[in-house]
Amino acid sequence: MRTPPAEVTPTPGLVRRLLREQHPDLAELPVAPLANGWDNVLFGLGEHLCVRMPRRAAAAQLVLNEQRWLPDIAERVGVPVPVPLRTGRPGHGYPWHWSVNPWFGGRAAAEVPPAERGTLVEPLALFLSRLHVPAPRGAPENPVRGVPLRQRDGRVRERLTGLDSPHAAPLLAQWEALVDTPGWSGPPLWLHGDLHPANILVGDGPNGRADLAAVIDFGDLTSGDPATDLALAWLLFEAGDRARLRARLDRLSGIDGDTWKRARAWAVSFASVLATSTDDHPVLAAAGEHTIGQLLAEG
């Protein structure tokens, strides 16, 4: 399975026309394609900005969620996040709202060798503890993130039973053992919703170590069960660093054992997505292989 086809294909020329109409002070900055994801297209705008534009109708509301809620979240989490600096409206045949965001340098954590990711444990634990607070009334809800595990059972089973891999059966066995773990009983908390290693940016710190530079792509921002985001423990880390992350978060947030079990189930769910949907994205494919390896190593 590959990246879904675009329903609308933004171009640098379209970006230029929209900027001239809505943000003329930015219109003469260089515009260059940067990335083409599942939901959005990114264009570089000068040296320090980027333009984020939905390429599918399913992402149109997600950009509005980022525009509405990210400023408040950014004040709390203590990590650079892509708060929209300007907002754009439909025009010139383009049907959706769009944003001008800061551009963060660095590389994806998925590109850092797993054995060198331990320096990210502490800053990510702090980020998660500050993000995972009760969400206000009116916060977005996502039908596929932060929800009870049983709501994802059909899709996870479908992906794993269709996966031509010797790993499919043991992953399905793990899912079946975890899917009926008692659910989240607290108030809905703020979640990133898509906290995988390609959405975490790192820079080079002292002695070449990986330092947390930014957390990006809040398109799946939602409220619900924090276990969804805690799956990062398997997606990003090896066993020793995963244990350190869990211990630190347990001290910061008092996370109960059932939440960690659901987090592992979410890691199985994300692994099933990455194993079946990343044919054209080698970085995410490698993240999927890492996650599967970590899950199977724990038995």
Residue 2 has pLDDT above 90, yes or no: no
To the nearest 10 degrees (0 to 180), the angle between helices 282-297 and 168-178 is 60
The rounded distance, in Å, linking the Cα atoms of 48 and 108 is: 18
Residue at 1 is within a domain: no
Residue 1 has pLDDT above 70, yes or no: no
What number is the average pLDDT over the span 266-292? Answer: 89
**What is the structure's pLDDT at 277?**
75
Residue at 67 is within a domain: yes
CA–centroid distance for 141 within its chain: 15
Alpha carbon of 127 to those of 78, 121, 180, 214, 244: distances in Å? Answer: 7, 10, 28, 10, 15
Residue at 73 is within a domain: yes
| Judgement on whether residues 92 and 158 belong to the same structural domain of the protein | no
Task: Check residue 207 and give left, alpha or beta (phi > 0: left; psi -120 to 50: alpha).
Answer: left
Is residue 130 a contact partner of residue 209, using CB atoms and an 8 Å limit? no
| Judgement on whether residues 71 and 145 belong to the same structural domain of the protein | no
Residue 184 has pLDDT above 70, yes or no: yes
Q: pLDDT tens for residues 92-126?
A: 999 999 999 999 989 999 999 999 999 999 999 99
**What is the structure's pLDDT at 278?**
66
| Judgement on whether residues 138 and 23 belong to the same structural domain of the protein | no
Q: Which of 46, 75, 102 is the last residue of a domain?
A: 102
| Judgement on whether residues 29 and 79 belong to the same structural domain of the protein | yes
**What is the structure's pLDDT at 206?**
76
Give residue 242's pLDDT band: very low, low, confident or very high (50, 70, 90): very high
What number is the average pLDDT over the span 211-220? Answer: 95
